Amino acid sequence: MQIQNISNSQQNTQNFQGKINITPGDLSYLPAKYVRKSYNAMQEQIKNKPFDLFIKQNHQERNVSIMAQKESDALKKKALRTERFVSDEADLYESVAKLVVREHEEKLQNQPKTFSEKFHNFLDKAWNKFLYAMEIKE
């Protein structure tokens, strides 16, 4: 039996594969046509991102929303999300998706640290100080 050797760099990398979520049966003819036309370009923009694109049509207001958000945060009210709207008759989905992805990346970079991240950093610093103090006393 042979076992494949996996390098350390392969084990530690995270594989993000952002995807495009379209509410099934939600898009009317023109928006569905435009989404199909720009789908590959939008998929290319989102493929290595830690969030997904959600596309949903609002029939009353006659527009389509393109939203960037983590799929795990989809039902949370205070989740980080970026949303833009496109008219039903406009063929601007690719450029609006690019804008949404760029704005959402900026929000992710500027997002303040969560309590768990701050607490983890505090514990790391305390542990390093403890190890440093133990080395000096020896």
pLDDT digits (tens, 9 = 90+) for 6-56: 444 444 445 557 788 787 667 888 888 888 888 888 888 888 888 888 888
Element (H, E) at 14: none
Cα dihedral angle (88, 92, 95, 101), rounded to 10 degrees? 10
Give the chain's domains with CATH numbers. Answer: 15-111 (3.30.160)
Query: For 82-117, what is each residue's pLDDT tens digit?
Result: 889 988 888 888 889 899 999 998 988 888 778 888
Global confidence as pTM: 0.66
Residue 4 has pLDDT above 70, yes or no: no
Asked whether the beta carbons of 49 and 16 are under 8 A apart, the reply is yes
Q: Long-range contacts: 60-65, Cβ < 8 Å, 24+?
A: 61/85, 62/87, 62/88, 63/87, 63/88, 64/27, 64/31, 64/88, 64/93
